[in-house]
Structure 1
Amino acid sequence: MFLITYSLLFCLLVQVIFHIYYLIAFSKGNKEHAPPTPASVIVCAHNEEDNLRRLLPLLYEQIHPEFEVIIVDDRSYDGTYDFLLRESERNNKLRIVKVNEKPENFNGKKYALTLGIKAAKYENIVLTDADCTPASRHWLSHMSSQFTEGTQINLGFSYYEERTGFLNTFIRFETLVTAIHYIGRALMNSPYMGVGRNLAYTKSLFISNKGFKGHLDVTGGDDDLFVNEHATGKNTAVTIGPESTVYSIPKNSWKLFFRQKIRHLSVGKRYKSGNKVILGLYSLTHAFFWLFLIVLIGMQIELYVVIGAILLKTLLLYLTFIYACKKLGVKFNFWATLVILDLLFVFYYSIIGLKALFTKRVRWS
């Protein structure tokens, strides 16, 4: 039993180190924003007429001195293109890139995004999705103001709209866990991924590195794999806060949510080795912490160690979420369920992670 106890303490130690690391990251002061730079907002759309009707007015009203909105119509067969044509006549900020067919062995979204970036008038590219909505009229100004000398990538934060039900609660919890990792690491000058719902980088970085070369045929990875390949502590900035957040429509069924996460996690095996080791260490010690804890509780052995471990883990968990939510500018409303969500996350991640690891082909939706 000493082996289980010492193993629990080792997992706890690693988890404590991670939590302290993220507490330090999210305790840092905000970087002062430089003046906004000219920017091209690019959105890839496949049968997204309804979402574009909601999104475009919010993009037009962004308070920004010089920008364009490029919608890449990726082989839509609903009313998207006709709607965009009418919109382009009413607003000269809107430009349309039409994709009628894609090359073989080229992922559809990556091909559409490549065409959109090549068509962009401005050097600084700001990306979001059709089902997203900026939290404020200053979103674009914030996302385009970090491109000072040497900065080529800017990571933003995207949250999900709050709905009723446990699924929505878990989706928002999982989104915060992901953000704590990738934004926390970036705040400590160790970026490893970003999310395409709120991401910016320079056109020259994309072109000089031949875009998505190396994973053109992979479903997913147009955001996190690109950032993983090219982001460094020197060329990457972070923009977070209530005015720079983008909100997205959450999935409304567990099946759709799991399919989405399998797609996201399946590209993680292509991350740089160092990133995989760090993420793997966190995930394994997180899972085994709860496993060893449950074993000791079941055997009613070393209960004073169990109680101490739970108290320390819970304290750090709450502090991390409080600091992260405050810095990200979103509400923290998991007081009653946070520890339960943390435990359930182990089962979720174990199942979805293993499925993603051994999945060779994933569906986009």
Structure 2
Amino acid sequence: MRFSGAGLGRTTGSDHFNAFPVSIIICAHRAHKQLEYNLPFVLCQSYPEWELIVVNDGGDFATDDLLKNYQSAYPNLRTVSIEKKRTGKKDAIAAGVASARYSWLLLTDADCRPATTQWIWTMMATRSKTTQLVIGYSPIEKKIGLRNELIRFESLFTAIQYFSAARSGHVYMGVGRNLLYHKSLFSLTNLVPEHPSGDDDLFIQRVATAEVTEVCAEPAAWVWTDAAISWKTFFMQKMRHYSASRHYSLKSQTRLTLYFVSLGVFYAGIIMSLATGLTIPAITLFILRTTCMIPVFRTEANGGGQPDLQLKFIYLEPVYLLFICIQLPFLLFYKNHRFWN
């Protein structure tokens, strides 16, 4: 697994492209407050022809009232209400896609907000003649505290991995907070019906190839979101993500496993060396690796809108690894049965 070449913040699009109409789809489940804050950022987009479809997953009355108020001022806002019949957001995505008037679909979530009014434009400009899927970048808003630092680090760390992998021809994941694809790619058969989470990752696993996929990490196309509000929420989010990764291809699972195993072996070796009195070799090895990693991480942290994390990598990486180790025993017995938010 590569830890360089993600190109976060890099300009890749063209000013000359066919500005096909776009359908933005937001799946919302009990998300009245999030929509109230974030919808204005979506509705102010500058693009020739587009619509916004908000799927009210579960038919929440507060959400329905809010959307009706917005519709009076924004005729391109359309709503779809569905009954919650099963876990996950597969039904909501399917309803949104079925209601879309246009062939290009741009997905985000209720708790997300585009960084600029050029979000649609920049994502669409990334396409080439063969592109059917564009993976976007979605950073976490900065707040005070270790939990926020760790969540932002994990999000950036993950983005570096899947962006660099995609740029090298191995497309294995993306985030539904910022994902553009052609309607022809969508099929209910491309969603794993027996798994309630990981819809976006598993969709990409089934349809994405290097030939039809581009990545867009330009700041104008970023979609910001908020960190989990508690350690428990973050813990459960990651449990859902890890459980979904069981459905990744063998190649993707092997790459990810080898990377994290090698990381674990490195830190275990450092701890064992310190415990057995090999202090100087342990410190030397740690300094050498850190010296090599910091310049790479600094570039991506600056490019990915998280400049304050560039030196915090020194302690956030082992904390992140410890967090994963704590989760491993729970993952063996984890049953993903909760509704998504």
SS at match of 2:105: strand
Aligned residues: 338
One-letter amino acid of the counterpart of residue 347, structure 1: L
Name the CA distance, whole Å, in 2 between partners of 1:171 and 1:154: 24
Find out whether 1:317 has 2:281 as its counterpart: no
Residues 37, 145 of structure 1: 8 Å contact kept: no
Change (3 A) 1:279 1:108: closer
In structure 2, C-alpha distance between the alignment counterparts of 1:151 and 1:54, rounded to whole Å: 32
- Offset at 1:294? 0.9
- The aligned residue for residue 12 of structure 1 is none
- Higher mean alpha-carbon deviation, 306-315 vs 179-188, is at 306-315
- What letter corresponds to residue 291 of structure 1 in structure 2? A
Question: What is the aligned-residue RMSD (CA, Å)?
Answer: 2.0
Which residue, 70, 81, 106 being the options, matches 1:98?
A: 81
Which residue does the alignment assign to 1:268? 245
> In structure 1, what residue type is equivalent to 2:255?
I
User: In structure 2, how many angstroms separate the alpha carbons of the residues matched to 1:247 and 1:118?
Assistant: 27
Which of the numbers 185, 189, 200 marks the counterpart of 1:210?
A: 189
- Within the alignment, does 1:306 sit opposite 2:282 as a pair? yes
Shift of residue 323, structure 1, vs aligned partner: 1.9
Equivalent positions of 1:267-306 (< 5 A) are 267-301=244-278, 303-306=279-282
Distance in structure 2 (CA, Å) of the matches to 1:242 and 1:136: 8
Identity fraction in percent? 33
How far 1:164 moved relative to its partner? 1.1
1:184 corresponds to 2:164:
yes
> What SS class does the counterpart of residue 79 from structure 1 fall into?
helix
Q: How does 1:66-105 map onto structure 2 within 5 Å? A: 66-102=49-85
Structure 2, unpaired ranges of 5+:
none
Tell me how far 1:47 sits from its aligned partner.
Answer: 1.9
* Contact 1:266–1:357 (Cα < 8 Å) also in 2: no
Which of residues 124, 127, 137 in structure 1 aligns to 2:117? 137
- Structure-1 residue corresponding to 2:307: 332
Write the distance in 2 (CA, Å) between the matches of 1:37 and 1:316.
Answer: 44
Are residues 1:54 and 2:31 paired? no
1:245 Cα deviation from its structure 2 partner: 1.0
Q: Distance in 2 between matches of 1:211 and 1:231?
A: 11
8 A contact 2:5–2:167 mirrored in 1: no
Letter in 1 for 2:318: L
Divergent runs of 4+, >4 A: none
Give how far 1:98 is off.
1.2
Normalising by the residue count of structure 2, what TM-score does the alignment of the two structures yield? 0.93
Q: CA deviation at 1:108?
A: 4.4
Structure 1 length-normalised TM: 0.87
- Quote the offset at 1:225 in angstroms: 0.8
Residue 3 of structure 2 aligns to a residue in which SS? helix
> Contact 2:39–2:113 at 8 Å: present in 1 too?
no
Deviations 1:248-306 (A, max 9, x none): 121121011101111111110110000000000000010110001110112123x4542
Shift of 1:143: 1.6
Unpaired segments ≥5 residues, structure 1: 1-17
Alpha-carbon contact 1:107-1:216 (below 8 Å) kept: no
- 1:269 is paired with a residue whose SS is helix
CA contact (8 A) 1:156 1:195 kept: yes
Match of 2:25 in 1: 42
| One-letter identity of the residue aligned with 2:112 | C
User: 1:13-36, CA deviations, whole angstroms, 9 ceiling, x for partnerless residues?
Assistant: xxxxx5xx4334539964233534
Which letter does structure 1 place at the counterpart of 2:336?
A: R
Deviates more, 1:227-236 or 1:146-155: 146-155
| Aligned CA distance change for structure 1 residues 179 and 159 (closer, same or farther; 3 Å) | same
